[in-house]
Amino acid sequence: MVFACVSLLYLLLVASSAKSLTTDEFTFNGFRNVTNLSLDGSALVTLEGVLQLTNSTRRVMGHAFFSSPVLMLKKLDNTSRALSFSTAFVFDIVPDGNAGGQGFVFAVSRAKILPGVKPGPFLGILGPQNNGNFSNHVFAVEFDTVQEATMFLDIDDNHVGVDINSLISNISRSAVYYADDSKKVDLKMESGEPIQAWIDYNGTTTVLNVTIAPLSLPKPRRPLISKVIDLSPIFEEYMYVGFSSATGKAASSHFISGWSFKSNGIAQPLDLSQLPNFPRAPRGPSTSKTVGVKIGVASSVGTFVLITMVIFASWYIWEQAKLAETIEDWELDHPHRFAYKDLYKATKGFKDTELLGVGGFGHVYKGVLRRTGQVVAIKRVSNGSRQGMKEFVTEVASLGKVRHRHLVELKGWCKRNHDLLLVYEFMPNGSLDKLLFDGNTNALPWEQRFKILKAIASGVLYLHEEWEQVIVHRDIKAGNILLDSDMNAKLSDFGLAQLHERGTNPHTTRVVGTLGYMSPELSQTGRATTSSDVFAFGALLLEVACGRRPIEPSEEPNLVNWVNECRMKGELLRVVDPRLGKCYAEEQMEMVLKLGLVCCQSIPEVRPSMRQVMQYLNGDYFLAEDKALLFSEVDTMDFFASRMSYPSSYGTMTTGSLKGGR
């Protein structure tokens, strides 16, 4: 029985490690028992299932090509066009001692091995007799760790180059990756640490992109190399794709643990969780030592290893205990649960260096999920009590179904003791609060601010009226508005304030919110409603337009009263953020300021609903000018009945049509 289970597990591993879809698309998550790979020279597959191109032997070369040729050129009536292709692979270069060499290439070639190929600087793909010949029909991306400045004009001993029929690269760059669009980080390819590479060619635009990054990071948005190269004259209709490597006067072991390729499309991402571990020591002969020295060193090393093993075992037991979690049966009924150890490792143990911010409900950390390389934001919420935890998780799992383009997506959760960890999509451009107030010399343009306000309004409307349940946010503010890489605004922490009430004393009411955004009735009754959300959104409207927080210790009066006083004096536009200058539409600005005041009315019943707020922002009907009514003793219901109107083409608005929302 045990033998049968082991055999079945082995077959499953073999099936997952070599997944070949067609001859034009394949994915190898490891190379154990692969049959459609052609190996030559020093190339072999290790016991771990890693493809090894060379070992620590000098002046050898190894080749590993997909067995069947791949369609790479589309023949048209009078011409031919190279097809798009994409490949991704994980490699590791381990030098023999302090110095290694030479490197390896990913190649697209008319043959698996060209005539006259040589080891050393020719990397096993070309030779001195055919280097530079147009008849080679070879395209290669080299990962070179030896500088051959005279022969091949190499820029340094750690570079990536694009080669067309010759090892004098068309373009080469020192090995770096971009942590963002501008910050370069050096990446030593002979470090012995795994690196992932992506090569993408667009046959329509003829743009070639080459990107590298440490295995622990996702694919950078900015490639290392981006160049227009027409590969149509280089490619034949069918070509072989694979790897070639060589050693020279010095040697390195060159490993590939996973490889994915697709012609005329985008290669499938590698499953990093399935990739085999790289061998830690180079294979091949080592330099000879005297027997006496070997025995002495072995004795010392043995003692050291024993002590190290004891220390490591103790640390491992302690580490596992620290990451242990007890999963109750009911937790298995809720989807999208993450393991605590995965989130712990993603945040490097919740290190302060990974801290993105601190909010009213917990600390938020940046995390990189090791299995997928995905960047996420992880909020650590302390519930303070086991009472109500099941209901708490039930509602969190329910919120995981909420989907709106202007709400930050809740990807999953994890419960451990009294803590709840919430996993959100990562928003690289941070919060609106930081963009408005963190000393930015370049003010956020008004067009962008107005776009953000409309986006958040639509998200709040969805929570109030368009999802299957009414969700009251209770903490709408600039700090909870996040921006993605394209500056699209999304509201975060929706429903979290309500959920955090689970487990509190039912005889006490905890007032949740942020000073300056809290409506008067909320501080009196403690009951949050959709109307109190509208008040907070009104404060946000004024904050974005004025470039001033709702309450500033050094400013009197508060923002709402100050804007209203200026409106009463006929100087409403005096409150506009001075950093904007005159770069805004006056009618639009006046509408936002008046709408902010209307939303901040002290009587909840006369505030507009979020649907009406959206109609104002979309210009579906207008706020009439009346200096005597807002924040006065006049009946505010009369204000709504008589002082708001549709655009003239819509006619007069009735009181009944103003009573919307929940």
Active site residues: 475
User: Where are the alpha helices (H) located in 64-158, listed in sequence order?
Assistant: 149-152
Residue 342, helix vs strand vs coil: helix
CB 209 within 8 A of CB 87: no
Write the DSSP string, 451-468.
HHHHHHHHHHHIIIIISS
Q: Please confirm whether the linkage preceding 274 is cis (ω < 30° from 0).
A: no
CB 172 within 8 A of CB 154: yes
Q: Which two tokens stand for residue 531?
A: 């109307």
Rounded to whole angstroms, how far apart are CA atoms 250 and 64? Answer: 21
Rounded to whole angstroms, how far apart are CA atoms 468 and 152? Answer: 66
The neighbour count for residue 616, using CB atoms within 10 Å, is 21
The neighbour count for residue 255, using CB atoms within 10 Å, is 26
CB 28 within 8 A of CB 269: no
Instruction: Give the CA-trace dihedral at 555, 561, 562, 565, to 10 degrees.
Output: -150
Q: Which two tokens stand for residue 303?
A: 């003692």
* Kind plus residue range of the DSSP H or E element containing 559: helix 559-568
Rounded to whole angstroms, how far apart are CA atoms 505 and 47? Answer: 60
Q: Please confirm whether the linkage preceding 557 is cis (ω < 30° from 0).
A: yes
Nearest to 500 by CA among 402, 431, 419: 419
Write the DSSP string, 31-79.
-TT--SEEEEET-EE-TTS-EEEE-S-SS-EEEEEESS-EE-EEE-SS-
Q: Which two tokens stand for residue 245?
A: 């490597």
* Residue 41 Cα distances to 59, 240, 305, 547, 641, angstroms: 11, 17, 36, 68, 87
Radius of gyration of the chain (CA): 32
Rounded to whole angstroms, how far apart are CA atoms 300 and 86? Answer: 50
Q: Is the dihedral of CA 207, 213, 216, 217 positive or negative?
A: negative
For tokens 């020295």, name the residue.
Answer: 293
Nearest to 618 by CA among 643, 588, 638, 598: 588
Residue 592, helix vs strand vs coil: helix
Q: Which residues contact 354 (CB under 8 A, 6 or more apart)?
A: 347, 348, 365, 366, 367
Burial 169-183 (b: 16+ CB within 10 A, else e): beebbebbbbeeeee
